[in-house]
Structure 1
Amino acid sequence: MHVMQYEIGLPADQDMAVIERRVATRGTATDDFPHLGVKAYAVRRVGRHGSAVNAYAPFYLWRDPAGLDAFLYGPFRNIVADFGRPPVRSWIGVSFDRGPAFAGAPVFATRAVRSLPADVAPGEAVEREAAQAGPADDRWHSQAVAVDPSRWELVRFVLWSAVPDTVPAGSTPFDVLHASTPHLADLPTGRLW
């Protein structure tokens, strides 16, 4: 599994209905994209869930890197044409787990990024992170843990079927306007190495 996200910062006074319309009219284009486990059309809105910024920040779980390549060198041109070319973060999958609300549609997401301790072997830190259970909340849909070895950072993306009462500490919250899930059921679960 490969994880990818780009975040497009928007002005504080941005009419987010423009982004909502974009997703409503174009979001289904990835509903059958090859090798795509899930694309969460995620946004941050000023004043919502404590956000100080507006942003369009979709994230992706790819079953196979061929899908990631096909997207970046194909349909991603639409993002570039409308917003310029944002940096794209990518991570190598460590684990994927299905939560109690896996049958529902994701409407919310959280992202937590933390550095791996420099004095700990990467495998040990990754193993500990992959072994952690999902949130103690029955509304979590699924979670992916991945690592960026260029920065030695771990990321934990959690999709939720409803907004949790409390956003997990150290996490950035996102509303999910749409989720394309053509190959979500095909993503391997548990530890991925």
Structure 2
Amino acid sequence: MIELLLNDITKIPVDAIVNAANTSLLGGGGVDGAIHKAGGKEILQECQKIRNKQGGCKVGEAVITSAGKLPAKFVIHTVGPVWNNGKHNEESLLSSAYKNSLKLASDNQILSISFPNISTGIYKFPKEKAAEIAIQTVLNFLTTTDKIEKVIFVCLDKENYNIYTKLLKQNNPL
């Protein structure tokens, strides 16, 4: 039910990939830029429509678009928190980003979903703490539904991959 890959999330054939977006939904650096670049202008156009309708996406929330040229059917855009010494509800907001992405997947009959390491790049969330939150939030959510058959954590770098490998062995879901 849970898999771990060391790979580029834009190359994973799943029903939905999760984009670590920013509140503007207009693309940016890191995984967000890579998803927009690989998926093409269709994703940006849909994000612009969402922005025009609701003014972007708040931290911890999630929205869904098609996947353009990606090997997925959908992109779920979620906004993780910027790490600010852990004193501004960052852990809860990161958990909400994962939870709301999973809820959107469940509501849209998405059976397989892949997550990047949300907030651990330019948002500077401590990688081990972020991985603990990601894994625990996903495990907790999966106990409440049978609609999602597979969750894949996709790490672009070896450091995150090693952290997830260790934590997943401790939690035994693999």
TM-score by length of 2: 0.31
Structure possessing the higher radius of gyration over alpha carbons: 1
What TM-score do the two structures reach when normalised by structure 1?
Answer: 0.29
Pick the structure with more strand per residue: 1
